[in-house]
Amino acid sequence: MLKGKQIAVIGLVVVLMGLLFSLDIKGLVKEDEHSGEAAGNTEQTTAINLEAVSEAGKQTLSANISQQITELENQLKTADASSKADLQRQLAQKWDDVNIPAPGAFYYEEIAKASNKSEDWLKAGNLFTSAYQATQDSTIQPTLVQKAIGAFQKVLEQQPANLDAKTGLGVAYVSGTPNPMQGIQLLREVVEKDPENINANINLGLFSMKSGQFAKAVNRFKTVIAKDPKPETWLYLAMAYENLGEKENAISAYTKGKELAADPSVDKLVDQKLQELRK
* Mean pLDDT in residue range 173-197: 92
Mean pLDDT (the chain) is 86
Indicate whether 76 pLDDT > 60. yes
Q: What is the mean pLDDT of residues 99-126?
A: 96
Predicted TM-score (pTM) of the model is 0.80
Decide: 189 and 204 in contact? Cβ < 8 Å. Answer: no
* Digit-coded pLDDT (tens) for 3-57: 444 444 444 455 455 544 443 433 344 334 444 333 334 445 567 899 999 999 9
* Per-residue pLDDT reduced to its tens digit, 114-168: 999 999 999 999 999 999 998 888 889 999 999 999 999 999 999 999 999 999 9
Contacts 24+ apart (CB under 8 A), 242-246: 242/273, 242/277, 243/209, 243/214, 244/214, 244/215, 244/218
**CA 239/CA 244 separation, integer angstroms:** 9
Q: Of how many residues is the chain composed?
A: 279
Across 224-240, average pLDDT: 94
CATH number for 7-30+161-279 (one of 1.25.40.10, 3.40.50.12780, 1.20.120.330, 3.10.20.600): it is 1.25.40.10
Identify residue 188 by its one-letter amino acid code. R
Nearest in space to 32 (alpha carbons), one of 224, 210, 239: 210
Please give the distance of CA 178 from its chain centroid, rounded to a whole number: 19
